Amino acid sequence: MRSAAQKAKPATTLDKLREGLTLQGAGEYEKAQRIYKQILKKQPNNKDALHLLGVSYRQLGFPKRAIEFITKAIKLDPNQGSFYANLARAKSDLPNIPADEILELSEKAITLDSSLPEAHNLRALALKKLDRNEEAEELLKKLVELYPHNPEINRNYGVLLREQKRFEEALDFFITAMRFQPNEVETIVEISRCRTELKQHDVAEKELFIALKRNPNNGKLKHEIARLMFSVSRVAEGLPYALDAVRDNPNDHQRQVTLAVHYLKSGNPHKALKHLTEAKRLTQGITTNIDWNISLTFLALGDLEKGWALHPNRFIGSGVPGVIKRTFPEHRVWLGEDISDKTILVWTDQGVGDTIRSGTIFPDLIKAAGKVIYEGPRKTHEMFRRAFPEVEVRVPSVGEAPDYIATADDFDCQICISDLARYFRGSIAAFQKAQTPAFTFDQNRAQELHARLGDRANGPIVGIGWRSKNLDTARARYYLSVIDYLPIVQIDGVTFVNLQYKSIDREVKYLIERTNGNVVDFPDVDLFDDLDDAMALTSICDIVVSPSTTVAVLPGLLDMPVIRFGDYDSVGQLGEDYLPWFPSTKYFVIDEEKTTAEFVPTIKNALLEKLADVSIDDRLRRIGLKS
């Protein structure tokens, strides 16, 4: 009599393919691959095994390998719509494949089998890449109505909405996709990116680590964890995941970039450049935001010539987040040529601190140009007028977002203020020769504020700031709370002047009460919107202690002693252990493996050293009370 095992029929090829498909659907891509490879070992021309093996490679993040196997399947049977659809899907993962090629493949798939939702879905993605966004969205809307339970269609509609910055709507579609395909890593990654934009970092982190527990070797998840950690300035934690992600797939240019920016933020620009160079090779030299990161890396290495030359690449495509890109259809960019008889418009692209830092170049530009027009934030106008009376200062003459097309026509050429350094600060020697201080302040106002200190003016005066108005998680990591700041302001015999813009009353009250009145506030000075008045108040201090905010920049403009702390700053440090823009500033880079609060004793000791050398006469001369 035959045993049950003897009676069992051997699994057919079709059975094995079905088993592989089931594993793929559950996210077990490596296990599915083993089955397809077993089939191909015996049947090397099995078109379905070749096709599905290719699909699994794409799901694991290896689109080139996917293309190789799916192309073999198409050669064996060129009449399968699903083969063309998945070839289009794999090619869409590569940065250098033209969108019209994806469109052609998806339309070929539809011609062969119009019932394939994934083919219509890919056609929509190709339309989106070709900037035919209205067509893409209309098609995706129809597909969602026709196939409400299709996870990929829901996910891709979510991607379109996310790229349009409609994050809450996008998240709804991603969550719907998860409902029908709960272990799909691509959807989990998209949810994380959406939550990051919505500042739901804790939720994103929790979901990613739950997914990683289920898929401990998944490189896509590790890459996304690294991206999340970088976005909240937890670089030391993110670096191991970035390394693992690259080891998993060194041919993914995005993973190379993520690892590079972790190295750069950690103060290791040599390793950063290595991985950015590899990312550039993988994209076959196409100009992308990779070039912006390469710019920062060259600046961090002290190669200012190469760094500044690549600096404008922050405007490539949709641009670097937080950077404003203006459009000048009728006016060329100034490229350093003679403009002694020309009018140049200088416009701003970033925050106030970056703007006024680059403003230190204006003395050189004024000498080079026939006339300079400055268009920048209104709060900077009075300080620019005071320092550079020959410059025309005005609000930006622009149309509506996102193009910000210039509406004025009274200039010959234009340049972004952040790009002036390319022509005037091409070396550290150029910084050392620069006019300092470049800015000035209202001495009469400074003397009035100084008089209000009374007898306190006979002792050392220290200006203080502890945070920015922007308490985004990534930036707040380098700030201090007033509780953390307390040891700094509890130094006997020193008066501390509040320079913190947008401070909360209870913060100032806390410092005053805990220091027995050592902290002095000037509530009539608008430290946020009136930088000219803030500069006058800053000038009456002997030293300023602040994180990397405008509070630390203003005294740097006046060549005053500053103790400043923050993250590794490529553009600020330029490969040096100080800030060439502000040579009177002592800059402390916060260790990425420590909190800023742990750094307080170092900051306090630096202040005590500075106080030992304080000269009240320097202050009095600066504000015009002593010759």
Note the pLDDT tens digit of each residue in 25-54. Answer: 888 889 999 999 999 999 999 999 999 999
Single-letter code of the amino acid located at 44: P
Calculate mean pLDDT across residues 222-246: 96
Calculate mean pLDDT across residues 587-602: 94
Helices (H), 437-489: 443-451, 473-476, 482-489
Instruction: Report pLDDT for 516.
Output: 86
Calculate mean pLDDT across residues 573-581: 96
Single-letter code of the amino acid located at 431: F
- Domain 443-622: CATH superfamily is Glycogen Phosphorylase B; (3.40.50.2000)
Query: For residue 328, what are its two tokens?
Result: 């000048």
Residue 104: pLDDT above 50?
A: yes
Helices (H), 393-472: 421-424, 428-433, 443-451
Distance (Å, rounded) from C-alpha 567 to C-alpha 542? 25
pLDDT band at 319 (very low <50, low <70, confident <90, very high): low
Considering the domain 217-319 in this protein, what is its CATH number? 1.25.40.10
Domain boundaries, the chain: 217-319, 332-433, 443-622
pLDDT in tens, 188-231: 999 999 999 999 999 999 999 999 999 999 999 999 999 999 99
Neighbours of 285 (CB within 10 A): 10
Distance (Å, rounded) from C-alpha 239 to C-alpha 258? 9
Residue 6: pLDDT above 60?
A: no
Residues 6+ apart with CB under 8 A from 121: 140, 143, 150, 152, 153, 156
159: nearest Cα among 147, 167, 150: 167
Q: Three-state DSSP class for 551?
A: helix
Q: What is the DSSP string of 598-622?
A: GGHHHHHHHHHHHHHT--HHHHHHH
Calculate mean pLDDT across residues 546-570: 96
Distance (Å, rounded) from C-alpha 346 to C-alpha 473? 32
Calculate mean pLDDT across residues 381-392: 97
pLDDT in tens, 264-276: 999 999 999 999 9
Single-letter code of the amino acid located at 301: L
- List 496's β-bridge partners, or say none: 462, 519
pLDDT band at 242 (very low <50, low <70, confident <90, very high): very high
Instruction: Report pLDDT for 323.
Output: 85
Could you give the percent of the chain with pLDDT greater than 70? 98
Match 């982190």 to its residue by tokens: 205
* pTM to 2 decimal places: 0.84
Query: For residue 117, what are its two tokens?
Result: 């939702």
First CA to last CA distance, the chain: 116
pLDDT band at 405 (very low <50, low <70, confident <90, very high): confident
Distance (Å, rounded) from C-alpha 447 to C-alpha 428? 35
Distance (Å, rounded) from C-alpha 483 to C-alpha 466? 10
Residue 597: pLDDT above 70?
A: yes
Per residue in 173-209, is it b (16+ CB within 10 Å) or e — as a string?
Answer: bbebbbeebeebbbbbbbbbbbbbbeebbeebbebbe
User: Dihedral of the CA atoms 563, 566, 568, 571 (nearest 10)?
Assistant: -70
pLDDT in tens, 160-194: 899 888 999 999 999 999 999 888 899 999 999 99
Q: Is the peptide bond preceding residue 402 cis, with omega within 30 degrees of 0?
A: yes
Distance (Å, rounded) from C-alpha 224 to C-alpha 207? 11
Instruction: Report pLDDT for 163.
Output: 84
Q: What is the DSSP string of 216-241?
A: TT-HHHHHHHHHHHHHTT-HHHHHHH
Lowest-confidence range among 102-106, 352-356, 397-401, 505-509? 397-401
Neighbours of 369 (CB within 10 A): 22
Residue 118: pLDDT above 90?
A: no
Neighbours of 31 (CB within 10 A): 15
Distance (Å, rounded) from C-alpha 463 to C-alpha 286? 47
User: Dihedral of the CA atoms 118, 119, 120, 125 (nearest 10)?
Assistant: 90
173: nearest Cα among 196, 197, 190: 190
Strand residues in 139-196 grouped as ranges (E): none
Cβ–Cβ under 8 Å, residues 86 and 54: yes
Lowest-confidence range among 189-203, 411-425, 465-479? 465-479
Average pLDDT, the chain: 92
Match 């879905």 to its residue by tokens: 121
Domains 217-319 and 443-622 share a fold: no
Query: For residue 540, what are its two tokens?
Result: 């009456």
Instruction: Report pLDDT for 1.
Output: 44
pLDDT in tens, 354-383: 999 999 999 999 999 999 999 999 999 999
Instruction: Report pLDDT for 5.
Output: 47
Residue 491: pLDDT above 80?
A: yes
Distance (Å, rounded) from C-alpha 176 to C-alpha 194? 14
Cβ–Cβ under 8 Å, residues 565 and 587: yes
